[in-house]
């Protein structure tokens, strides 16, 4: 009886989660009522293989296009070279190096599948097909795909689906059976209980949802005609589940987990939608969910001219895979996305599927230089779209977003081709309690491990873990742009008002200004992490940062008694410092310490080159 009650409860929660979303999503072109029943979905299935992402005509078009398009020729050469190298590569092993994840193996297999399958489809080298089946045969003999960490299962299912579909007519019936059995028994069937009971990732609003639903969708579409009941149920469940995550793109396409996880989540979201279209002829209006049509701009704006992203939360600072931008460029007629994917991305078989000629750089596309993203509450400002531009990004947002750090108010800064103010990124996910009760004991996840303020660092978490802050004002004008973040909720335990403004003056210099009104005197720290060498001036109010032969001057404008100091990128003596954290020896932090602060206006000016001159300091309210 308890089990039955739990099932009803799970279904109720799942329906309640969906109902609010679908009320708004229906207006944008997606409605659950228009999603066919499982059997009808399978009857829509394209009968021929390949049908995932690309069909036979698509491969023929691609082969012809390679002959006339220089970009595709370069990519094809790179993919074929990689495929040749894979022929003698070690076969995959069922190894969980951290005791929890098979994910690195799943991703390796997925990359190899795309590379070998594309090379074979375009050039017909039997060595590539033979090596690919050895890969699949090895994987099919695994005891499982580690469903306890379902991302591993989803990515491996994705790999098997592409291999099964793209080379369907190449495989013997025995080979197909081997691949199909592994995909069904170790990939698709383990998802059924999750879907049926509305568990875990099927109700998530972050990357797990898209990755798991995406992998299951491709698997179901690959074997839908051979396993119709199973595939139909999974397809319908996935189509009804993925809007919960896609709602997070609203209202303007930003992604709360940061640009690195944007790539992971959106890559799978696009794969899922593209596969639905290629195999069923429609994405059921999912691509019209609010914000999704604009999401391709998010990595463009959150990537600085140094090529590094504004990597808030657990995101890394490089975008390695940008194939999704090519699909988004075509779907939403945004050739600037194609430019970014070609300019910043790397050749890959998946990129070749969605590549089309015709790019438009951001300047030619007349993209505004500055952007403020609502809900996620991130703002970026830049002087121009060249590699030597001055660029800043500032974050407000929520400390409760998946993969969050206590980093409200943190900023990054690029100038003259260098990243000066850096975000250290995440730490080892296997640290004890990293996603649990010890999360904010780790330096890189605390406010003091970011470029923001710390008040009373010895008193527990140094920002409220439940706080949400917003960009209160944003102005973009030809000669000046700024954003002001109201950070008061992050420090409400100690202060009645905390605001941080960042301005791009004359499209070259950066002014960072904090205003604090505390209820009692607080022990306040201002931090900026950098990999540059730092030289403090004789008066303590100026500093010069240097790296790669380039310089950035920094000047303390206010208050008059403040002085710079250089500290190691490590916890303060009063802060927690558990064992096992990544060392940060290549970094240091420029710091200001004001131990008895009640009312404060702290202003710092950054200027490329030497000798940052003073500028007037005005209250943020007068900006």
pLDDT at 479: 86
Mean pLDDT within 521-530: 97
Give the chain's end-to-end CA distance (angstroms, integer). Answer: 63
Are 350 and 390 part of one and the same domain? no
Query: For 438-465, how does the pLDDT look when each residue is reduced to its tens digit (9 = 90+)?
Result: 999 999 999 999 999 999 877 779 999 9
Are 421 and 323 part of one and the same domain? no
| Angstrom distance (rounded) from CA 333 to CA 320 | 23
Task: Return the closest-CA partner of residue 63 out of 51, 80, 46.
Answer: 80
pLDDT at 207: 96
Asked if residue 503 has pLDDT above 90, the reply is yes
Are 285 and 416 part of one and the same domain? no
pLDDT at 322: 87
User: Of 295, 324, 354, which marks where a domain is finished?
Assistant: 354
Cα 270 to the center of its chain, rounded Å = 14
Continuous segment of H or E residues that includes residue 393: strand 391-395
DSSP state of 159: H
Are 288 and 376 part of one and the same domain? no
Using 50, 70 and 90 to split pLDDT, how confident is the model at 89?
very high
Query: For 140-193, how does the pLDDT look when each residue is reduced to its tens digit (9 = 90+)?
Result: 999 999 999 999 999 999 999 999 999 999 999 999 999 999 999 999 999 999
Using 50, 70 and 90 to split pLDDT, how confident is the model at 28?
low
Are 349 and 292 part of one and the same domain? yes
Q: Does residue 192 belong to any structural domain of this protein?
A: yes
- The whole-model pTM stands at 0.92
Mean pLDDT within 12-41: 65
Continuous segment of H or E residues that includes residue 219: helix 207-222
CATH number of domain containing 166: 1.50.10.100
Task: Say what percent of the chain tops pLDDT 70.
Answer: 95
CATH number of domain containing 515: 2.70.98.70
| Angstrom distance (rounded) from CA 604 to CA 587 | 20
User: Of 292, 323, 354, which marks where a domain is finished?
Assistant: 354
- How many domains, the chain? 2
Using 50, 70 and 90 to split pLDDT, how confident is the model at 7?
very low
pLDDT at 345: 86
Domain of 579 in residue numbering reads as: 371-613
Asked if residue 558 has pLDDT above 60, the reply is yes
Are 388 and 291 part of one and the same domain? no
| Angstrom distance (rounded) from CA 287 to CA 301 | 21
Asked if residue 211 has pLDDT above 80, the reply is yes
Query: For 399-433, how does the pLDDT look when each residue is reduced to its tens digit (9 = 90+)?
Result: 999 999 999 999 999 999 999 999 999 999 999 99
Asked if residue 333 has pLDDT above 70, the reply is yes
Asked if residue 303 has pLDDT above 70, the reply is yes
Q: Does residue 312 belong to any structural domain of this protein?
A: yes
Q: Does residue 363 belong to any structural domain of this protein?
A: no
Query: For 221-269, how does the pLDDT look when each residue is reduced to its tens digit (9 = 90+)?
Result: 999 999 999 999 999 999 999 999 999 999 999 999 999 999 999 999 9
Mean pLDDT within 550-562: 97
Mean pLDDT within 336-350: 93
Q: Which residues have CB under 8 Å from 240's CB, separation 6+?
A: 18, 32, 35
Q: Which residue has the higher pLDDT, 32 or 514?
A: 514
Q: Does residue 566 belong to any structural domain of this protein?
A: yes
Are 91 and 185 part of one and the same domain? yes
Q: Does residue 366 belong to any structural domain of this protein?
A: no
Q: Does residue 360 belong to any structural domain of this protein?
A: no
- Going across the sheet that includes 411-415, the strands are 371-373, 378-382, 391-395, 411-415, 418-421
Are 130 and 175 part of one and the same domain? yes
Question: Cα separations (Å) of 266 from 24, 50, 209, 262, 471?
Answer: 21, 23, 11, 6, 24
pLDDT at 5: 36
DSSP sequence for 251-290: TTS--TT-HHHHHHHHHHHHHHHHHHHHHHS--TTGGGST
Are 64 and 113 part of one and the same domain? yes
pLDDT at 612: 66
Give the mean pLDDT of the chain. Answer: 93
Question: Cα separations (Å) of 520 from 375, 573, 592?
Answer: 31, 22, 19
Are 337 and 388 part of one and the same domain? no
Give the up-direction half-sphere exposure of residue 92: CA atoms within 13 A in the CB hemisphere: 29
Are 253 and 204 part of one and the same domain? yes
Are 428 and 283 part of one and the same domain? no
Q: Which residues pair with 11 in a beta bridge?
A: none
């Amino acid at each position: 009886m308890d089990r039955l009650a739990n099932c009803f409860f799970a279904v109720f929660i799942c329906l309640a989660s969906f109902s609010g979303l679908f009320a708004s999503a229906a207006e944008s072109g997606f409605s659950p009522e228009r999603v066919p029943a499982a059997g009808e979905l399978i009857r829509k299935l394209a009968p021929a293989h390949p049908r995932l992402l690309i069909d036979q005509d698509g491969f023929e078009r691609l082969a012809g296009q390679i002959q006339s398009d220089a970009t595709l020729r370069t990519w094809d050469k790179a993919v074929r070279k990689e495929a040749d190298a894979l022929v003698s590569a070690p076969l995959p092993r069922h190894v969980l190096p951290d005791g929890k994840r098979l994910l690195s193996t799943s991703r390796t297999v997925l990359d190899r599948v795309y590379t070998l399958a594309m090379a074979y489809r375009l050039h017909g080298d039997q060595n590539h097909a033979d090596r690919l089946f050895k890969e699949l045969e090895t994987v099919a003999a695994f005891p499982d795909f580690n469903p306890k960490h379902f991302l591993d299962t989803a990515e491996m299912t994705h790999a098997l689906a592409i291999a099964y579909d793209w080379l369907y007519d190449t495989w013997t019936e025995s080979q197909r059976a081997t691949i199909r059995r592994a995909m069904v028994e170790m990939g698709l069937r383990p998802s059924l209980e999750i879907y049926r009971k509305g568990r875990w990732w099927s109700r998530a609003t972050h990357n797990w949802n898209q990755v798991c639903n995406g992998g299951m969708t491709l698997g179901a579409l690959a074997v839908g005609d051979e396993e119709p009941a199973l595939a139909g149920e999974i397809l319908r469940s996935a189509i009804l589940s993925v809007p919960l995550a896609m709602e997070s793109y609203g209202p303007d396409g930003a992604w709360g987990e940061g640009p690195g996880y944007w790539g992971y989540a959106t890559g799978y979201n696009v794969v899922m939608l593209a596969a639905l279209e290629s195999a069923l002829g429609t994405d059921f209006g999912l691509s019209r969910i609010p914000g999704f049509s604009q999401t391709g701009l998010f990595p463009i704006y959150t990537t600085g001219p140094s090529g590094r992203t504004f990597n808030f939360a657990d995101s890394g600072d490089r975008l390695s895979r940008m194939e999704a931008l090519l699909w988004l460029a075509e779907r939403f007629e945004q050739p600037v996305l194609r430019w970014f994917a070609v300019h910043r991305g790397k050749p890959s078989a998946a990129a070749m599927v969605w590549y089309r000629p015709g790019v438009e750089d951001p300047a030619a596309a007349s993209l505004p230089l500055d952007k403020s993203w609502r809900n996620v509450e991130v703002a970026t400002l830049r002087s121009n779209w060249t590699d030597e531009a001055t660029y800043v990004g500032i974050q407000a947002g929520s400390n409760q977003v998946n993969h969050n750090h206590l980093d409200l108010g943190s900023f990054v800064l690029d100038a003259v081709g260098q990243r000066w103010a850096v975000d250290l990124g995440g730490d080892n996910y296997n640290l004890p309690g990293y996603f649990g009760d010890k999360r904010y004991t780790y330096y890189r996840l605390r406010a003091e491990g970011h470029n923001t303020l710390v008040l009373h660092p010895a008193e527990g978490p140094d920002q409220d873990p439940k706080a949400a802050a917003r960009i209160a004002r944003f102005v973009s004008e030809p000669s000046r742009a700024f954003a002001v973040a109201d950070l008061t909720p992050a420090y409400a335990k100690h202060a009645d008002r905390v605001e941080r403004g960042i301005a791009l003056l004359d499209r070259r210099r950066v002014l960072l200004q904090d205003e604090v009104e505390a209820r009692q005197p607080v022990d306040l720290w201002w931090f900026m992490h950098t990999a540059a060498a730092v030289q403090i001036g004789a008066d303590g109010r100026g500093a010069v940062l240097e790296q790669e032969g380039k310089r950035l001057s920094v000047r303390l404008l206010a208050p008059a008694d403040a002085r710079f100091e250089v500290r190691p990128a490590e916890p303060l003596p009063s802060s927690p410092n558990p064992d096992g954290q990544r060392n940060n020896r290549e970094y240091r932090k420029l710091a200001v310490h004001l131990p008895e602060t009640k009312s404060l206006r702290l202003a710092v000016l950054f200027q490329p080159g030497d000798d940052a001159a003073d500028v007037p300091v005005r209250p943020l309210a007068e900006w």
